[in-house]
Amino acid sequence: MSLEDVIPTAMPLAALYRRVRDYVPAVEWPVHAGDIEAILRLKAERNAVVLAHNYQTPEIFHTVADIVGDSLALAREAVSTAADVILLAGVHFMAETAKLLNPDKVVLIADTRAGCSLAESITGADVRLLRERYPGVPVVTYVNSSAEVKAESDICCTSANAQKVVESLGVPKVIMLPDEYLAQNVAKRTAVEIIAWKGHCEVHERFTPNDIAELRNSYPGVTVLAHPECPPAVVAVADFTGSTAGMIDYVGKNKPARVALITECSMSDNVAIAHPELEFVRPCNLCPHMKRTTLPKIRRALETMTHEVTVPAPLAARARAAVERMLALT
C-alpha cells in the first residue's frame, strides 16, 4: 500500500491532523506539527523518502511516510525508489535490507538501538554450525535477521512468502530460522520438513490461546487475525493468519464489523484510520524497538544525515544474493 493511496501529497498540516486526530490529542499536535513540517521540507531538500513499517505510530505512518507496508513491501520499494536518501522508519534489520538493495544510496535509521529479538537470537557462526550439523540442507532465513546471518543463508523469506519460498527450493527438508513459531506455522501447511531455530518475537510470543478465548467471550462475533510470528496454538484459534500486509488486505476485502489484530499495537491504529466504519478490538502488545523511532528523531536524522546504516562489502554481496533470490521469486 503506497501512502499516496490514502494521502494526497502536499496535504496541508490541518488535513494531516484530521487523519490522526483520534490518536493524537489536540494538545500534542502543535509539538508534532513543527517536526512534521520540518521533515516534509527536509525530504524535499535531501531528495529523501521515508519508508515506514506498519508498526510505526499513526503520527509517523499517516503524515511523513512516503511508502508504508510490511517487510516484503518495504524491501520491494527500497529497490524501486529514485530517491538519494532512504530513511527507514522501522528497525535495524529493515534498514540493513534497504542498504543491501541500494548500495549506492544513503540509508538512515532514526535510532540505532531499534533492534529485534528475532534478529538478536542468532549469529552467522550459529548458521555455520547448523550447516555442519545438517549437511546439504538449504537455509531459509526470515528477513528479521542481521546481514551477517543473511550472508550465511541460501534464500530469505518474509512472513508473507515463507511457504512459497520453502517450497520453491524443491527439496524435502530445509532449515528455517530464526523464528521457531513462523517455522512451525509454515510446517503445518507444507509437506517440506522444517528444522527450526529457537528465536521468538518478543511481541507475538506473549499472545496465548486463552487471550483469544477471552476476546471471543467479551466481544461476540469478533474476527481474529493473527500474525504468523504468534505461537501455533494461537494461530490455530484465529480466523486468518498473515503478514501485516496480509491482515490489512483481509480487512479491506472482508470488512469484518468487529476485528482484532493479534499483533503490535500501532497496526490497529493505522488500519482503523483507513476503516473508521469497523470496530477494532485491541488486545495488542507494543514493540519497544519499533517505538524507538519518533518524529523528533526522524527530523534529527534528516537534519544531520545520521545514523547511516552500512554493511561491509564482501558480506553485503552474499546477504544481497539471499534477499534478491527471494525477491525474484515473489
Q: Which residues bind ligand 13P (CB under 6 A)?
A: 54, 70-72, 144, 158-160, 201, 229, 243-244
As to burial, measured by CB atoms within 10 angstroms (0-12 exposed, 13-18 middle, 19+ buried), residue 232 is middle
**Binding partner at 151 among ligand 13P, ligand SF4, none, C-beta below 5 to 8 Å by kind:** none
Which residue in the set 201, 225, 230, 323 belongs to the binding site for ligand SF4 (CB under 6 A)?
A: 201
Q: Name the one residue in this structure whose C-alpha cell is 504468523.
A: 228
Query: Counting contacts by CB under 6 A, is residue 89 touching ligand SF4?
Result: no
118 binds ligand SF4 (CB under 6 A): yes
Residue 82 parent element (H or E): none
- Rounded to 5 degrees, φ, ψ at 42 are -65, -35
Question: 161 is in the binding site of which of ligand 13P, ligand SF4, none (Cβ under 5 to 8 A by kind)?
Answer: none
Stretch of 20-28, 124-132, 200-208, 318-326 contacting ligand SF4, by CB under 6 A: 200-208
Specify the pairing of strand 258-262 against strand 240-241. Answer: unpaired
In angstroms, what CA-CA distances link 237 with 20, 190, 224, 262? Answer: 32, 19, 8, 11
The answer to whether 202 contacts ligand SF4 (rule: CB under 6 A) is: yes
Told to check if 91 binds ligand SF4 by CB under 6 A, we report yes
Chosen from ligand SF4, ligand 13P, none, partner binding at 159 (C-beta under 5 to 8 Å by type)? ligand 13P
In the chain, the N- to C-terminal Cα span, in Å, equals 16
Residue closer to ligand SF4 (CB basis): 19 or 227: 227
The one of ligand SF4, ligand 13P, none whose footprint includes residue 70, by CB under 5 to 8 A per kind, is ligand 13P
The residues pairing with 264 across neighbouring beta strands, listed in sequence order, are: 285
230 is written with which cell numbers? Answer: 504468534
Select 29 or 142, whichever has its Cβ closest to ligand SF4.
142
Binding mask 221-240 for ligand SF4 (x = CB under 6 A): --------x-----------
**Chain centroid offset of residue 4 CA:** 19
Strand partners, 174: 194
Identify the residue among 78, 290, 309, 316 touching ligand SF4 (CB under 6 A).
290
CA 278 remoteness from chain centre: 23
Nearest-approach distance from CB 90 to ligand 13P, in angstroms: 7
Phi and psi for 227 in degrees, rounded to 5?
Answer: -75, 145
DSSP state of 65: -
- Which residues sit at the interface with ligand SF4, rule CB under 6 A? 91, 116-118, 144, 201-203, 229, 264, 287, 289-290
